[in-house]
A and B are shown apart, each in its own frame.
Chain A
């Protein structure tokens, strides 16, 4: 029986961890993630969820505990945000290098200083090199669904990598909206029992991730790169299978909207990618050929999808809820990098928007689109990167 509920994305993440049969959760609270682990704590306390909840003293300990648990052979889950994610940074490398299929919800929150509790994607994007798969969600249902899909993906023997499921703080985490929780039997049919590539066993003792000299370290890293390439192929397949079983689909790596005949395509991640659809509809009514593409998976980066989009449009524009100081937004950089090898490249402009929770409305996105269309008409871009709605 499908359960129709109204709840926050955070609570739905808790429901997903429960549905996935997670056996160990080690977590430390931080706004705006805390209600995920509070929900899980409720489930464990009431017996609804048969799992071990480890109260650790910091996020770093949380990740290290998850590494231990995953290595010991159980499905694990944790959640964090912002400085919590930054604090456990070194353990991210360890988890991916150990090839452990941990899934973590990251509730995107800006980094301090200055201190901010509001959403932007600097926290997770600055971890893009750690070998973790990264999903960016645009709705409450998607958060639930993506966590389940992530376990299926990460525990595939062609992958065996950990994944972050990212969702913007307050915009999704604390927003109460309708969602469906599927029948547990159907979830079990989709997600088999936990599998990992190696397990710690007292009867067959060994240690993992031991010292590797320059003779072989590169090859171990290449294996991770291969696993990412495999993930790129598998994600659309899993999304399709999930849609067939549960009725919700997200376009695999990129969710395209009215792009087929678009002159201009707006690219974004997270909820900006959802509100962009409203902007597209309004612009289309004015006869302007605009489409939007929400990049749902940032790692592995969907290079081939970007190349396809570029081939069919005259201009690509990115809206980054992030800035890499001294350069530009990461979505912008990687879209350009994906296209460098192409003979014919569309015009490109990058926009920085929504940092520290600055609201990004459909009207803002419309403004960006109209500005870009002007550049397209002129045949040249004024600035590589522009900051949207910046106070003078």
Chain B
């Protein structure tokens, strides 16, 4: 069993960290994992892709992910400049940080899960340099949408990555995103 995940975001949003925390969560569950970025120009705002593989066996593969089973999108507007559906396997799931409906962003017909992770961050005052932190909460949403990792594993990975008050806020954000994830398939649009 190998599941591949692609994460879209902008430099500074923590897409790479999201991939690592996701991998960590799966590792806690005994899986073999990989998490890696595709680096472009290293600066805030640039479109960034990060990847994770979750496998039941050790991995020999080192090439990029071309046909992900899941896509996670941290930035609410990046779909305007990047095709987030590229290569997504049939039946694959997209988890998006947005307040909009899939039909409002050209994703009708895809299996989409949405959560306003930005809103959750603003609610909890979970900010870094004034910008909302969405990379942990989106993983809570991913856990609910995909079932590939348990929420408890994601929370443990978060707790092992950050400490103190920062950790608590991230944990709370992750839990809220898990609760508030809306699934837009099975005819729910």
Contacts and interface: CB of A to CB of B under 8 A. Distances in A.
A362 B23 CA distance: 23
Contacts of B38: 170
A274 B36 contact: no
Interface in A342-361: 359-361
Interface string A127-145: 0000000000010000000
A287 B62 CA distance: 25
Contacts of A175: 34-36, 62
A176 B60 contact: no
Q: Is the interface of B mostly helix, strand, loop or mixed?
A: mixed
A230 interface: no
A362 B39 contact: no
Interface residues of B, number: 23
Chain A contact residues (Cβ within 8 angstroms of B): what range? 20 to 34
Interface in A140-191: 170-172, 174-178
A359 B19 contact: no
Contact of A360 (B20, B23, B63): B63
B34 A359 contact: no
A362 B36 contact: no
B37 interface: yes
B131 interface: no
B27 A178 contact: yes
Interface in B45-61: 58-61
A172 B62 contact: yes
Given A6-B27, A277-B60, A359-B63, 9 more contacts: A6-B20, A6-B24, A6-B33, A6-B35, A176-B20, A176-B35, A177-B32, A271-B62, A275-B60
Interface of A: 6, 31-32, 117-118, 138, 170-172, 174-178, 271, 274-275, 277-278, 359-362
5 interchain residue pairs of minimum CB distance? A175-B36, A271-B62, A176-B35, A361-B63, A6-B27
